Amino acid sequence: MSEHLVVERSGPVVVVTMNRPEARNALSPSMIVGLADAWEMIDADPAVRVAILTGAGGVFCAGADLKAMNSAVSADGAAKRFREDTGIAWRALLRSKQLAKPLIAAVEGPAVAGGTEILQATDVRIAAESATFGVVEVTRGLFPLGGSTVRLRRQIPYARAMELLLTGETITAAEAADIGLISRVVPDGKALDEALRVAERIAANAPLAVQAVKRSVRETEGLPETEALARELEIGLPVFATEDAKEGTRAFKERRPPVYTGR
């Protein structure tokens, strides 16, 4: 995908690894372009059911490499696309569009600034014990444009979100789990293993049903209850007419594992 991003596939699961350990996996133009392309590929390929985002070298992501972004003047294709496509960073950070398929974060080490911001676009979050999190932009005189002033407030309690946003302080994995920012904490070095286990469990389910559940959760957020429930019906009812729904019923009656095809 790019020199700063590794994309690996194992059956229905794709693992996307931010690969600049020497720079704490800070987001470079090459990585931004690679991420945007990876998300497009994942959603377009019907054989992919779940994606995992992680970082190399025991670090998740230290945010944007502002120096690299501001000096992206080389003639290589990634730098050119980064300069000319004004929306590519928002697509890479999943700010302008969410993945249709489940996305799991496997966090080792620091996930700060843009690292915590892209984390908020994931659905399940596994963190190692030594992982740390923070939206630190205000300490650098900057604004968290990755979506934290909107998403963080919706995902964790208001007072805790505001404390993190206004102080720029970092928190531990245990603290992040306590406030609901992450799903669970595992021993150091085991975040990806646990993420793969969860991904395999999700991938065993009917993909159209899984994607419809995610879509309903996303699209009904913030709606009045009556409107949200109506939207849930619009999204959920068609699932019952799929071949996978029929297969699930057959497999249950026949006491065997279902074989879902995404139809």
Active site residues: 117, 137
Q: Would you list the domain boundaries of the chain? A: 5-203, 206-254
pLDDT score recorded for residue 78: 75
pLDDT tens digits for 78-124?
A: 778 888 888 999 999 999 889 999 999 999 999 999 999 999 999 99
Q: What are residue 92's phi and psi, to 5 degrees?
A: -65, -40
pLDDT at 73 over 90: no
pLDDT score recorded for residue 137: 95
* CATH number for the domain running over 5-203: 3.90.226.10
CB 47 within 8 Å of CB 12: yes
Do β-strands 171-172 and 124-128 pair in parallel, antiparallel, or remain unpaired?
unpaired
**CA separation, residue 9 to residues 21, 188, 203 (Å):** 21, 23, 13
**Is 74 or 80 the better-scoring residue by pLDDT?**
80
pLDDT score recorded for residue 80: 80
pTM: 0.94
Domain 206-254 has CATH 3.40.50: no
pLDDT score recorded for residue 84: 83
pLDDT tens digits for 243-255?
A: 999 999 999 999 9
Rounded average pLDDT over 44-60? 97
Q: What are residue 9's phi and psi, to 5 degrees?
A: -125, 135
